[in-house]
Structure 1
Amino acid sequence: MEEHKHTKAEHNHNHFLGKNTELYFSIASGLFLGLGFALSYLLTKTEWVALTCYIFAYFFGGYFITIEAYKKISKGGFDIDFLMIAAAIGAAYIGSWAEGALLLFLFSLGHALEHYAMNKAKKSIEALSDLSPKIALVKKGNQLIETPIESLQIGDTIVIKPNTKIAADGVIITGNSSINQAPITGESMPVDKTAIASLDKLPDFKHIDKKHIAFTGTINGDSTIEVHVLKLSQDSTVARLIKMVSEVETQKSPTQRLTKKFEKWYVPIVLIVVILLCFAYLIIDENFNESLYRAITVLVAASPCALAISTPSAVLSGIARAAQKGVLIKGGKTLEDLGSITTIAFDKTGTLTEGKPKLTNVIALNNFEENEFLQIVLEVESLSNHPLAKAIAKDIKKLHNLSFKGIAKNIEAIQGKGITAAYNNAKVLIGNLKLMQDEGITVKDTVTSRMDSLLQNGHTVMLVALKNEVIGIISVMDTPRQTAKSTLKRLKAIGIKRMIMLTGDHQNVGDAIAKQIGLTEAKGNLLPEDKVTAIKNLLATDGKIAMVGDGVNDAPAMALSTVSVAMGAAGSDVALETADVALMSDKIENLPFVIGLSRASKRIIKENIFISLGVVAILVPVTILGLTNIGVAVLFHEGSTVAVVLNALRLLVYKKHL
């Protein structure tokens, strides 16, 4: 069997019969087969009763297979379905109705299970299309107008009532709420969202703070919110996901491509061998019926049904399981490649770190009271628009429970050095050593050595002076994600040998972060082209490499890597387009799960190929030599087909490294 691409007519045909009809037909075939077996023993003198049961078993077991085979033959192709129909007809011709019915029952069961596995896998992803509500409430003046989501325009304001689905990708402009983003990002906990302060100078969708963003298909909490639409329905994150998932199937894995090539020449060889075996009676001492029986038994034994479905069923199950956790894996090749990775390169900012500066040290000097020192810093920094000043002011308020009183004034920024301001009519300076020296302020050796120590550890350090005297030191740093250290530890535990940070930051910053979170090494001062060179070098030494970044700044390096993994891809068109693996949430802790899943998929693919080829390798010579009958051949051969599908379905419940 292969990945069956159903035509529209076939889809309508199956829809008319019902989506699980194939499985029901297979079960009906099994029931008639069992009834036939029982009646052949109980009613030995009325063989036609058992034969009638077998004929019904043939009908139900062969119905869908015959349709598949006919389609292939009409296009000039002979595949495994054709081999099975030929074997069943041959079995009936030589009077082995029970064996033929058993063959069709088990083969149709394998077929039905394969389609069930495929459909379950596809549906668990394509269920995304059901996420989007069909109608949105558009606010026009004081009116709320029900509008189909296809008719929404960029700039519309939609009202989202409590506990309803969000109808478009956009930015929240009114109200605060807790939103369940699990359908898109896989996050288990609802995420607090707040309205954006203003729509003036709105950055592009990717760069708006995620706490203001609402995604199509996510579920609003207990508060009413209003959303300014920023994407049309066909461009929404959900729509892009569905499109990419439908493309996933066309990207076959290396193993799939290999098995396809194998089947292409293997099936005609089997047909030639079977035809030749029909004439074995001309050479060896047996009659035509015995030669035909042997040929049909070989036909059953040699059909590589299990091989054909071993890889696609595992690939689709793996991709579906990843999607349940908010991870998009683009095709079988990526799934297999990721499983063999032992080296990972990480971007720093926003991947291993929070991506925003945090206040890390507050050191009051000369017995200056800490709270008074912090109040001075808060008053001055609150007047500045510099990102570091904003971060310092925000953290002082949050960590030290201080509030802005508006005491400072006359702030002045000195390019590349810092700021000055008046605080209670006294001059305050906050900046680097050069600022202090230019203003004629003496900085003691003990202070500069403390500064150097912090600089060596990757901090950005500022001195604070009041009335021409240094009164303290403050430092900020892009701090590691809380989960980074534990994630890297888990990656190491599952066999990732090298974990390298590639950053444009100073080498000291890279080294400091690397030391804190347990990276193997860090490479700093890298421009985008330097990152590309670093990836080339790693590919040359390590063979395969994964690159983890945000999919935007690191696009060239990620494109070069064996597998590129984009963080926080929800809402990012570039990340979804360029990355092989997209972590929809901003959670690096999903990485060990994805790598573990791909390894499990790879292992299951290998197990499936071993089972399928192993059974064929044993059965073919045994049946050619006439050492077994058709019933045993059917049982082992079709049993292996059912076994590989059930083995692949295990991936849908994969839970390790969560």
Structure 2
Amino acid sequence: MIKWINTYKNRITALSGILIALGFTLGTLGYATAADYSLILATLIAVVPIAHKAYLALRMKAFSIELLVTIAVVGALFIHEYTESSVVTFLFLFGDFLEARTLEKTRSSLRSLVDMAPQEATILREDVQTVVPVEEVAVGDRLVIKPGGKIPVDGTIVKGQAAINEAAVTGEAIPANKSLDDKVFSGTLVDEGYIEMIAEKVGDDTTFAKIIELVEEAQESKSKAERFLDAFANYYTPAIVALSIIVYVLTRNLHLAITFLVIACPGALVIGAPVSNVAGIGNGAKHGVLVKGGEVMDRFSKVDTIVFDKTGTLTKGKPEVTDIQIVNDAVSRNELLRLTAAAERISEHHLGQTIVKYAHHHGLETAESPTDTEIIKGHGLKATVAGSRLVAGNRKLMAQAGIPISGSAESYAVAREKTGNTVVFVAIDGTLAGLFSIADQIREDAPQALAEMRKNGIKQIIMLTGDNRHTAQAVAEQLGLDAFHAELLPEDKVRFVKQLQADGAVVAMAGDGINDAPAIATADIGLAMGEGGTDISMETADVVLMADKLLQFSHAYSLSKATMRNMKQNITIAVAVVVILLAGVLMGSVHLASGMFIHEASILAVILNAMRLIGFKRKKVFSPS
């Protein structure tokens, strides 16, 4: 029955409209009885899907809008108001049809994402290319992607280079140049070039699949306003039935009571909040911003303080070794680099991996596997390589290990730090051997993004970093931050976030989603940055930026405010229309059919208002610098 009604609902609506037009025509020609039969038939046909939905709601112990309309239509038939009974049912179904069509447009971003999902892959086995469904690709398969082809799974390039359009993942339309050892993501498109890749994540584990899943979940989740309106509707609907009975008892006017019943339907009120939520989240997905639901959007709009990690957030996260200073003649520069790179292979920290890449780039063999390894979180590591005991990290680690730092080495380190470098101290067998200077560049879009966020209501911008004080100060001064705190451990960042919250701030924490996961989870809004998005960032953060762009952060913040503003506009429109209509009913100036028309128009008004969010773009504000 349900399937039949859903299949033929649009045809039922069209047939009802035709019968109403026929009834009006027959009435005009003087065939009153035939006209009544036509209108009655139109009512009975159109009321079936409405009454069926009301019945299903009653079985779930819910009082729906369809129940109000069904009661009103039965009453109208009882008092022989065939014109109004037919017009009300037709308008309700036609309004439902228009709602479905316009709501589908609000979900266009998600639908376009799903349409981008790759269907086939070309696997290379023993120099033979075989096209298979993407579901058959396994981890470790070698894949070929030619110009114009979609990358079917996540993986690493092992041959070739290409300009890849990553808009489906990052929201960025400008192609990114990718070559050997670069990561590529499912759903992205090879504009130019040829690559071979090794599959690392397949099926539901790919970044693209997780994006679709997160957007689907987010669009189904509800804000506080939506949950309140749902609860309100459960009480409001039976209350309207009771009030219509009171109206009839007081006036003995069944027509007035029925009109009151229909006009008071809270349709626009119920749909106004969720449609704004869906449209806002869809806009975010289109621009590479994943907002995990209506409640997150609500909280995000109230943020007044933003806390940033430094590396990979305010900076590009692509540090480079700028200098290696030898302080102990017992070891050469190349030997120091080789041993340090071998030890740092066990580290997940960006500075350690920078040293490993630098050694690899210079052709230094790092085949030795370190032993007796110890990661000291927030400070560095200890390891034995080729019989030598290495300690690599910051000053605090050197102090803990009892390794003295000479005055000249300290002066060199401070001078490098004041120019924006991070210094890694390396000791071999208890003696300081050398210092690695590593620099990271501030993101080009950082000044503009921070200026836009201040313009939109952010009162404080603070940086918390594990880096040294001199480097942190250089970044903070360049970006005009309100405050910075350096040489922090992950637990220190959590403590700072909690203190800000205790002082009354609504805090958003932006980090890389790995080292900053505890602080991200503690903040009112946790935001993770990173091209492609790491697994932990998607799980921990409330908002995920799929590209390394701070301007996406600015867009997300502006979008949250626009979405909540739009939601409040819709609620205001809905309440105002109901109040005006009810006043018109009680004064006798609004009738059943005209009231139903205005009621349906109000539903379309809130949907069309919400659809403006699909094309929302942040207002650009350029920083003075």
Question: TM-score, structure 2 length as denominator?
Answer: 0.80
SS of corresponding position for 1:221: strand
SS for the counterpart of 2:92 is: helix
Counterpart residue type for residue 160 of structure 1:
I
Alignment match, 1:582: 544
Q: Which residue of 2 aligns with 1:369?
A: none
1:62-461 alignment runs, 5 A limit: 62=47, 64-196=49-181, 212-281=182-251, 288=252, 291-358=253-320, 455-456=417-418, 458-460=420-422
Aligned to 2:576: 614
**Quick check: 1:353–1:479 contact (8 Å CA) kept in 2?**
yes
Aligned CA distance change for structure 1 residues 525 and 78 (closer, same or farther; 3 Å) = same
The 1-side partners of 2:128 and 2:5 are apart by 46
- Tell me how far 1:263 sits from its aligned partner: 0.9
Does residue 462 of structure 2 align to residue 492 of structure 1?
no
Secondary structure of 2:316 counterpart: strand
* Paired AA for residue 120 in structure 1: K
**Matched residues in 2 for 1:451 and 1:163: separation?**
49
Secondary structure of the residue aligned to 2:503 is helix
Match of 1:514 in 2: 476
Q: 1:331 to 1:64 in 2, by over 3 A?
A: farther
2:60 is equivalent to residue 47 of structure 1: no
Distance 1:560 1:98 in 2: 60
Of stretches 337-346 and 452-461 in structure 1, the one that deviates more from structure 2 is 452-461
User: Using the alignment, how far apart are the partners of 1:497 and 1:192 within structure 2?
Assistant: 37
**Residue 552 to residue 476, structure 1, CA distance change in 2 (3 Å):** closer
Task: Note closer, same or farther for the CA distance 1:657–1:361 as it changes in structure 2 (3 Å cut).
Answer: farther
Q: Is the 8 A contact 2:304 2:505 kept in 1?
A: no
For 1:639 and 1:462, the matched residues in 2 are separated by: 66
From 546, 560, 567, give the equivalent of 1:598. Answer: 560
Question: 1:28 and 1:187, CA in 2 relative to 1: closer, same or farther beyond 3 A?
Answer: farther
CA displacement at 1:307 relative to structure 2: 0.6
How far 1:484 sits from its partner (Å)? 0.8
What do you get for the CA RMSD once the two structures are aligned?
Answer: 3.8
Measure how far apart 1:312 and its partner are.
0.8
Deviations 1:70-93 (CA, angstroms, capped at 9, x unpaired): 321343432111112222332343
Shift of 1:486: 1.2
User: Aligned equivalents of 2:392 and 2:167: distance in 1?
Assistant: 45
Which ranges in structure 1 are unaligned for 5 or more consecutive residues?
1-8, 197-211, 282-287, 363-376, 405-412, 419-432, 464-472
Q: Give the partner amino acid of 1:143.
A: V
Structure 2 CA distance for partners of 1:541 and 1:385, relative to 1, 3 Å: same
**CA distance in 1 between partners of 2:506 and 2:144 (Å):** 48
What SS does the corresponding residue of 1:513 show, helix, strand or coil? helix
Once structures 1 and 2 are overlaid, which stretch shifts more, 150-159 or 30-39? 30-39
> Residues 52 and 328 of structure 1: is their aligned pair in 2 closer, same or farther, counting only changes over 3 Å?
farther
Q: Structure 1's 29 and 514: CA in aligned 2 closer, same or farther, altered over 3 A?
A: farther
Is the 2:414–2:470 Cα contact (8 Å) retained in structure 1? no
C-alpha distance in 1, partners of 2:436/2:356? 12
- Residue 200 of structure 2 aligns with an amino acid whose one-letter code is L
Aligned residues: 564
Residue identity opposite 1:593 in structure 2: H
Q: Distance in 2 between matches of 1:654 and 1:46?
A: 54
Contact 1:378 / 1:393 at 8 angstroms: preserved in 2? no
C-alpha distance in structure 1 between counterparts of 2:263 and 2:128, whole Å: 70
1:164–1:11 CA distance, 2 compared to 1 (3 A): farther
Which residue in the other structure is 2:519 paired with? 557
Query: Is 539-548 or 587-596 further displaced after alignment?
Result: 539-548
- Residues 648 and 63 of structure 1, relative CA distance in 2, 3 Å threshold: farther
Structure 2 residue aligned with 1:531 = 493
Matched with 1:205 is none
Q: CA deviation at 1:215?
A: 1.1
The change in CA–CA distance for 1:150 and 1:491 in structure 2 (over 3 A counts) is same
The answer to whether the 8 A contact 1:29-1:60 is kept is yes
Return 5+ residue gaps in structure 2 as ranges: 325-331, 345-350, 364-387, 394-403, 426-434, 621-625
Tell me, in whole angstroms, the C-alpha distance in 2 between the residues paired with 1:393 and 1:417: 13
Closer, same or farther in 2 for the Cα pair 1:109/1:531, shift >3 Å? farther
Distance 1:234 1:649 in 2: 30
Give CA deviations for 1:597-622 in whole Å, capped at 9, x if unaligned.
Answer: 11111011111111111222333354
SS at match of 1:547: strand
Q: Which amino acid aligns with 1:271?
A: V
- One-letter amino acid matched to 1:244: L
1:481 Cα deviation from its structure 2 partner:
0.9
Q: Deviations over 1:505-562 (max 9, x none)?
A: 1222222111111222112121111111111111122342111112111111111111
Alpha-carbon distance change, 12 to 385 in structure 1, aligned in 2, over 3 angstroms: farther
Which residue does 1:573 correspond to in 2?
A: 535
Identity %: 35
What letter corresponds to residue 259 of structure 1 in structure 2? L
Residue identity in the other structure for 1:214? V
Deviation of the 1:58 alpha carbon: 4.0
Partner AA of 1:153 in structure 2 = A
SS in 1 for 2:526: strand
Q: Taking structure 1 as reference, are residues 506 and 37 closer, same or farther at Cα in structure 2, changes over 3 Å only?
A: farther
Q: What is the alpha-carbon distance in structure 2 between the residues aligned to residue 340 and residue 107 of structure 1?
A: 37
**Deviation string, structure 1 residues 127-184 (Cα, Å, up to 9, x no partner):** 4333333222211112222322222221111111221111111111111111111111
Task: Return closer, same or farther for 1:495/1:360 CA change in 2, 3 Å cut-off.
Answer: farther
Contact 2:340 2:390 in 1 (8 A): no
Contact (CA 8 Å) 1:310, 1:608: kept in 2 or not? yes
Amino acid aligned to 1:266: Y
Deviation at 1:104, TM superposition (A): 3.2
| Closer, same or farther: CA 512–361 of 1 in aligned 2, 3 Å | farther
CA 1:277–1:255 in structure 2 vs 1: closer, same or farther (change >3 Å)?
same
Counterpart of 2:605 (choices 643, 650, 657) is 643
* Distance change >3 Å, CA 11–CA 242, structure 1 → 2: farther
Q: Report the residue type matching 1:488 in the other structure.
A: L
Structure 1 distance, partners of 2:245, 2:447, is 64
Distance across 2 between alignment mates of 1:525 and 1:12: 66
TM superposition score normalised by structure 1:
0.76
Change (3 A) 1:34 1:529: farther
Distance 1:614 1:34, change over 3 A: farther
Q: Against the structure 1 CA distance between its residues 12 and 360, is the aligned structure 2 distance closer, same or farther, given a 3 Å change threshold?
A: farther
Partner residue in 2 for 1:285:
none
8 A Cα contact 2:148 2:190, kept in partner: yes
Kindly provide the amino acid, as one letter, of the partner of residue 559 in structure 1.
Answer: A
Amino acid in structure 2 at the alignment position of 1:158: L
Give the Cα–Cα distance (whole angstroms) in 2 for the partners of residues 475 and 500 of structure 1.
25
Distance 1:222 1:265 in 2: 59
